[in-house]
Structure 1
Amino acid sequence: MNDIPDMQDCIDACTNCHQACLQTALTHCLQMGGRHVAPDHFRLMMDCATICEASANLQLSGSPYSRQLCALCAEICHACALSCLELDGMEECARACEACEHTCRAMAA
């Protein structure tokens, strides 16, 4: 199977993004308050963490739906990265989202 290395890259990026969004939301954002915990931003971070975890899980299981979920994951990661870049101290999370978006778009293609 030619796409195994690419799939492993995507699984790794999804796992990293899941961790980055969850950890950043529950530590940095909650400590910062204000716009960092605005419902739209905070919910987006939690959605991103959730879909990244689900995307990695579906790829690991060989699900025939993983490509479709990767497409949605890429969209949510893109939105989350943009949201994070508007706030202080969110660069690492935004980079994780951008990397996941890139690999998920490749997997969905």
Structure 2
Amino acid sequence: MADLMHTHRTGYSKMENNQQDIPVDKLVFVAKHFGISVDDIIFFNEKNNVPNEVSMEDTAVLEQLKLINELDTEEKNILLKLIETFVSKKRFKDYLQKNIAAL
């Protein structure tokens, strides 16, 4: 698999063992290779089942990921920071709502 992904075996091993994040372009490649969505890869353990078929929505997300992959490194980093910010805000909001409801 490392050879197919054009990745060194040590780097692939680190990705496989959650010691290194998988670059978006590699994630898209793996999804295409196995005919599944990126979502199915990311949330496989949470779903705890066999990945579903690719839907039209998944295809749209995949197309967006392809476009993101075409960005230069600086643009990708900016986009990832924006996503992290929104996810953090959402998690914090959910945390507050859960704890306020418990009072």
- The structure whose RCO (Cα within 8 Å, separation 6+) is larger is 1
TM-score by length of 2: 0.31
TM-score by length of 1: 0.29
Decide which structure has greater helix share: 1
- Computing the radius of gyration from Cα coordinates, the structure with the larger value is 2
